[in-house]
């Protein structure tokens, strides 16, 4: 018989229910509490409860999230909540049906809403009546790109995850590190990840959207690395910063924000964001500071911008096996000015012990979709040495999942 009394049983529950984001002084404390709560849940769940959540609750939940996204319900609910305050948040089944952009049978929508309320995506406040959560409002806010996480999962990671164990078994449990000959994504779709993204704008768009959401979630690189190391001693009449594979240009914008006064308004040849032509055209409508130029460029071809102070790669090498990374680095090295130019890589540097779930998930999703991988510091040293670089320093921050590797030509 349990020696836990009813009083002591309810006290922890009341405490847990009282804790929210605002309970913590900073994000470091919040993250530590989240990880503690994850461990607590693992201790409290029975083995059956855990496998039930993983294999049954979550697939049904993802289907519901996508259904309501396709129907435009999340976006409309967020719009109404933004305009109507608390009164606009609480909605009945009939009103939510009215938010949908297509006719849907009421009980079909109800069953999914019921499940999403049970899993805390929305909050049930009465019979067939719900109010949104911070999460569901974010899904409806296109500017957050959280909705693209659902789409990217269904376009890429979830189907590939279903295939991965079978693929590895079929291939003798070898580590997949060759996207041309031995690649889970190609095994499933008949093309590699980036090849399909180029051919399918929807699949490519969901990936770019997820990357933007991930970058918004992670610490800005300029908080990890002292960018005065680039500006001090730089030739302001020459290229200053080249963001290779920079997509939206957020990292370049963060750099410019730190040094706006040092970079003249007329300096249109200082800052560059490079990406594939289809990516550049997708983001062309997005406004960047006039000092930032977009350049259509494939990093497996010769680098067009010579002698820049810095060439920056954010979450690029981890998508590629070592052999492909050497090709990328060779194109950059060929235009660098020895003793002046710096190669900056902002990626996960796996610790020998204590990797976080975000680090390990990124690592395995790279295996899942691109035959890529996250690397340890020792792996980075060997890879960069083979490319003709030496690591100057690895810059870390206790709240950052990624580190900035500064390297220079040997």
- The torsion region of residue 37 among left (phi > 0), alpha (psi -120 to 50) and beta comes to alpha
- Please count the other Cβ atoms lying within 10 Å of the Cβ belonging to residue 298: 12
Angle at 245 between CA 239 and CA 251, to 5 degrees: 70
Q: How far apart are CA 394 and CA 185, in angstroms?
A: 32
Phi, psi of 372 (to 5 degrees): -95, -170
Alpha-carbon radius of gyration of the chain? 24
Q: Which of 63, 180, 166, 168 is nearest to 111 (CA)?
A: 63
Angle at 281 between CA 260 and CA 283, to 5 degrees: 45
The strand ranges marked E within 133-263 are: 241-244
CA 51 to chain centre: 26
Q: How far apart are CA 23 and CA 356, in angstroms?
A: 22
The strand ranges marked E within 192-270 are: 241-244
Query: Could you confirm whether 318 is annotated as catalytic?
Result: yes
Indicate the SS3 state at residue 336. coil
Q: Is 370 exposed, middle or buried (0-12, 13-18, 19+ CB in 10 A)?
A: buried
Please count the residues of the chain. Answer: 410
- Please count the other Cβ atoms lying within 10 Å of the Cβ belonging to residue 359: 17
Q: How far apart are CA 128 and CA 107, in angstroms?
A: 10
Q: How far apart are CA 295 and CA 249, in angstroms?
A: 11
The answer to whether 101 and 49 are in contact (CB under 8 A) is: no
Please pick, among 254, 259, 318, 379, the residue that the annotation labels catalytic: 318
Q: Which of 99, 111, 108, 114 is nearest to 69 (CA)?
A: 99
Q: How far apart are CA 101 and CA 104, in angstroms?
A: 9
Q: Could you list the active site residues?
A: 318
């Amino acid at each position: 018989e349990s020696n836990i009394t009813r009083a002591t049983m309810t006290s922890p529950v009341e405490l847990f229910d009282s804790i929210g984001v605002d309970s913590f002084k900073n994000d470091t404390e919040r993250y530590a509490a989240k990880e503690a709560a994850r461990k607590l849940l693992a201790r409290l769940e029975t083995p059956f409860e855990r496998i039930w959540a993983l294999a049954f609750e979550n697939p049904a939940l993802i289907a519901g999230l996508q259904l309501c996204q396709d129907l435009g319900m999340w976006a409309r609910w967020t719009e109404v909540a933004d305009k109507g305050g608390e009164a606009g948040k609480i909605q009945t089944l009939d009103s939510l049906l009215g938010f949908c952009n297509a006719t849907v049978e009421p009980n079909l929508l109800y069953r999914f809403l019921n499940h999403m309320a049970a899993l805390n995506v929305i909050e049930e406040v009465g019979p067939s009546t719900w109010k949104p959560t911070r999460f569901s409002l974010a899904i409806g806010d296109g500017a957050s790109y959280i909705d693209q996480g659902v789409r990217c999962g269904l376009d890429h990671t979830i189907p590939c995850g279903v295939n991965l164990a079978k693929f590895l078994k079929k291939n003798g449990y070898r580590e997949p590190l060759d996207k041309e000959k031995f690649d889970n994504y190609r095994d499933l779709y008949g093309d590699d990840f980036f090849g399909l993204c180029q051919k399918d704008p929807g699949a490519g768009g969901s990936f770019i959207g997820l990357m933007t959401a991930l970058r918004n979630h992670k610490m800005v690189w300029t908080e990890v690395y002292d960018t005065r190391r680039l500006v001090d001693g730089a030739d302001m009449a020459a290229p200053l910063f080249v963001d290779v594979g920079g997509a939206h240009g957020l990292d370049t914008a963060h750099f410019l924000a730190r040094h706006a006064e040092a970079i003249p308004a007329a300096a249109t040849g200082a800052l560059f964001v490079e990406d594939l032509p289809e990516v550049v055209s997708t983001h062309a409508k997005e406004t960047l500071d006039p000092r930032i130029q977009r350049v259509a460029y494939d990093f497996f071809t010769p680098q067009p911008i010579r002698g820049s102070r810095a060439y920056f790669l954010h979450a690029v090498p981890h998508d590629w096996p070592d052999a492909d990374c050497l090709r990328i680095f060779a194109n950059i090295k060929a235009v660098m000015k020895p003793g002046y130019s710096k190669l900056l890589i902002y990626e996960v540097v796996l610790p020998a012990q204590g990797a976080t779930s975000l680090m390990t998930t990124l690592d395995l999703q790279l295996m899942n979709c691109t035959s890529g991988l996250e690397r340890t510091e020792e792996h980075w040293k060997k890879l960069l040495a083979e490319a003709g670089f030496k690591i100057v320093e690895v810059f870390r921050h206790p709240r950052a999942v990624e580190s900035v590797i500064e390297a220079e030509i040997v």
